[in-house]
Structure 1
């Protein structure tokens, strides 16, 4: 219930942000042409990419709300990660375009109208600042964070345009406009690189940066009866949801004892490492060491699965099951 409420709130914020951004794009493009300001025109282009980013994030949030199916057993959780990756990648391309245009302005200076620059940029600071503030609450999700970075970058860069317009008005130095564009371009590149890196890491099934596999292995091996943990994999479904799969060799024990070990291991990774989706395979041997003192021809294998979900009232439940092959 709480999750659906969050989805609804995010969708409403994104709808408002889309409407405000569309109006601002029209204003910056029109007045940028009138003022002959590359800084304003680059803002229009940047905000056009923001509009696309907001739209893509909106679709991703909608997809994430859909339930899993036999064809999409994890649902559409990765939709937000993919949206964040595309958004940040498009920003890097845009930053390159703005930089090339700014260099052209150094070679062929154009007179700009500082009063118009400052007025339109002031409106942008208010609008982008408002949207960034609304999105900040939900920026733990990498999809929303990619849009938040867009809007925060816009707020800072439009504030720079105001300062630039003021300096141009005082000094009549026209080169300030393309310098501002280069600063905006560098800001966009810097802010988007981190998101490209994070989302690509998730899409390539990398181990979450907050997770230390050695720590998990050590913690699991402290459970009674566990000899060693191997074939250990941890990956991210989203920036906030992780999964684990591994093989655990244990001493010979009854099925009930195996259930107890599974419960202990699931508790360990869930409560200490925040991993709620686990697949743990127990390999039962009658040997207490792993240096080849004995090797049963047919070791018993136990599979344990833990799936985290929300029951009535938003309470969390984990289920571990064991069966012998």
Structure 2
């Protein structure tokens, strides 16, 4: 339990610090935006407010992920972070569309900007967002934290672009530079968030983990001495870094005491080669017909004899 709790506590501290920094920057951009009558800075405040919400959502998810399993939530709350990442990525898609819409509107109706104030406040934004993104990078293996990291990285790039745009406007007077930069940033945000939406939807829909091939897992299990056939094989993700497997395994008739060696061999193979540590293996002495409870896709079914003898070797390794 300590192995899980320590990274979670570090993650929570980083997210708390990130929330405090982001809130301070939201207040600053809004106040300076009003004083400079700059729509760009007021928009930046709104943009960062969405980041504050994203970090808060991730903080709540990390809190829930740390909670142990119970009788109602037998797998615990491992998917809380995945759900938060999905919501964050969906809001990023909406945000990128809004930025692009506003930029196109600005191209049609140019708005005079005060580039000096833009550059000063944006420089503070780059420092703040860059600091938060660097802190979050350490935990970006978790899809929940990665969604927030991309939020903050996108903000760092967009505020850096505001500085570049402000300088260009200051020296050339070309106000169209600002909306063109915004469109490029919106495209980058959209591209990164679609990747997270696909990954999180795959987990939420119980899809095979994206870095695993079911055929490779089956071949590895069938290579274990004593295994005749592997069918009704299912592999899915509990969280972004935790995979589970359930399968029927056909073995030769033998005393139950001899089955444990085969079970250990399967579990060692799955753990060492695929990092699958939660397994449920059902041993059988004949094939399995669809009428006897197999639920694998048709091409994966193994049809055997009608005579059905089940030995249950359930393994739950954590």
* Equivalent residue, structure 2, for 1:20: 21
Q: Displacement of 1:137 after TM fit?
A: 0.7
- Are the aligned partners of 1:32 and 1:41 in contact in 2 as well (CA < 8 Å)? yes
Question: Counterpart of 2:219 in 1: which secondary structure?
Answer: helix
Q: Choose the corresponding residue for 2:309, options 277, 299, 305.
A: 299
- Are the aligned partners of 1:118 and 1:165 in contact in 2 as well (CA < 8 Å)? yes
Relative to structure 1, is the Cα distance of residues 22 and 291 closer, same or farther in structure 2, using a 3 angstrom cutoff? closer
* Equivalent residue, structure 2, for 1:42: 43
* Equivalent residue, structure 2, for 1:232: 233
Q: Displacement of 1:21 after TM fit?
A: 0.3
- Are the aligned partners of 2:286 and 2:308 in contact in 1 as well (CA < 8 Å)? no
Question: Counterpart of 1:146 in 2: which secondary structure?
Answer: helix
The within-5 A match list for 1:1-325 is 1-285=2-286, 295=305, 297-308=307-318
TM-score (norm 2): 0.91
- Are the aligned partners of 1:36 and 1:111 in contact in 2 as well (CA < 8 Å)? no
Q: Displacement of 1:38 after TM fit?
A: 4.3
Task: Give the Cα separation in 2 of the matches to 1:86 and 1:130.
Answer: 24
The aligned length equals: 304
Relative to structure 1, is the Cα distance of residues 36 and 295 closer, same or farther in structure 2, using a 3 angstrom cutoff? same
- Structure 1, residues 215-259: CA drift from partner, whole Å, max 9, x if none? 111111112221110111100011100000010111111111111
Task: Give the Cα separation in 2 of the matches to 1:285 and 1:98.
Answer: 61
- Are the aligned partners of 1:202 and 1:235 in contact in 2 as well (CA < 8 Å)? yes
Task: Give the Cα separation in 1 of the matches to 2:48 and 2:168.
Answer: 24
Relative to structure 1, is the Cα distance of residues 85 and 239 closer, same or farther in structure 2, using a 3 angstrom cutoff? same
Task: Give the Cα separation in 2 of the matches to 1:200 and 1:42.
Answer: 30
- Structure 1, residues 119-158: CA drift from partner, whole Å, max 9, x if none? 0000001001101111111110000111111111111111
Task: Give the Cα separation in 2 of the matches to 1:6 and 1:279.
Answer: 28
Relative to structure 1, is the Cα distance of residues 291 and 44 closer, same or farther in structure 2, using a 3 angstrom cutoff? closer
Task: Give the Cα separation in 2 of the matches to 1:278 and 1:33.
Answer: 58
Relative to structure 1, is the Cα distance of residues 28 and 183 closer, same or farther in structure 2, using a 3 angstrom cutoff? farther
Relative to structure 1, is the Cα distance of residues 233 and 205 closer, same or farther in structure 2, using a 3 angstrom cutoff? same
Relative to structure 1, is the Cα distance of residues 301 and 77 closer, same or farther in structure 2, using a 3 angstrom cutoff? same
Q: Displacement of 1:260 after TM fit?
A: 1.1
- Are the aligned partners of 1:114 and 1:169 in contact in 2 as well (CA < 8 Å)? yes
- Are the aligned partners of 1:37 and 1:177 in contact in 2 as well (CA < 8 Å)? no
Q: Displacement of 1:29 after TM fit?
A: 2.2
- Structure 1, residues 276-312: CA drift from partner, whole Å, max 9, x if none? 00001010149xxx998x836242332322220xxxx
* Equivalent residue, structure 2, for 1:314: none
- Are the aligned partners of 1:223 and 1:261 in contact in 2 as well (CA < 8 Å)? yes
- Are the aligned partners of 1:39 and 1:180 in contact in 2 as well (CA < 8 Å)? no
Relative to structure 1, is the Cα distance of residues 295 and 107 closer, same or farther in structure 2, using a 3 angstrom cutoff? closer
CA RMSD of aligned residues (A): 1.8
Task: Give the Cα separation in 1 of the matches to 2:52 and 2:312.
Answer: 51
Any stretches of 5+ residues in structure 1 without a counterpart?
309-325
* Equivalent residue, structure 2, for 1:315: none
Question: Counterpart of 2:268 in 1: which secondary structure?
Answer: helix
